[in-house]
Amino acid sequence: MKHALLLFLSGIFSLSSFAQQTPQTDPPVGDFRTVIGQHVPSFSFEIEKGKKVNINDYKGKYVLINFFATWCPPCNQELPMAQKLIWEKHKDNPKFAFIVFGREEGWEKLDPFKAKKGFTFPLLPDADRSIFSLFAPNGIPRNIIVDPAGKIIYQQFGYDDAEFEKLVKLIDSKL
């Protein structure tokens, strides 16, 4: 009995020691792979079905990039606010673009979601996370603002009323 207990405890300590030495494969939720001040990573995307553009086509504009998912509660809290407080106010400003990517979602899911919610901003697929993964390993919603020179000037993860208000004020001050 004593021998079995010692063997059991020895196994637990070995596993504990192994777990502590095993490196994490993903950084914790919330981390960014980009930093404020760096140029936005170059990527192409479908602006509409069958029509591709590149983020560099938006130089000369302030670009708000948002990553969300249709199933994400904080995203569903944030997007109606973005429609009302950002998009409706600045959609006609030629110095502004708002690009919203559905992480791991395609047109077949995004189009009905957009129609149901009444959103009028571009809601675009990032089905394979290829765009999202340039900015972060995990965690949504995310907002990134790129300035007219193509540099990242703001990054934010999650939804919080006070932080969203800061985002709106920053956009308003630039436009």
pTM: 0.82
- Asked if residue 11 has pLDDT above 90, the reply is no
Q: For the segment 38-80, what is each residue's pLDDT rounded down to a tens digit?
A: 999 999 999 999 999 999 999 999 999 999 999 999 999 999 9
Task: Delimit the domains of the chain by residue range.
Answer: 27-174
Which tens digit of pLDDT belongs to each residue from 76-113? 999 999 999 999 999 999 999 999 999 999 999 999 99
What are the structure tokens assigned to 155, written together? 């990054």
- The predicted structure's pLDDT at residue 143: 97
27-174 to CATH, choices 3.40.309.10, 3.40.30.10, 3.40.50.2020, 3.30.70.270: 3.40.30.10
Whole-number mean pLDDT of the chain? 87
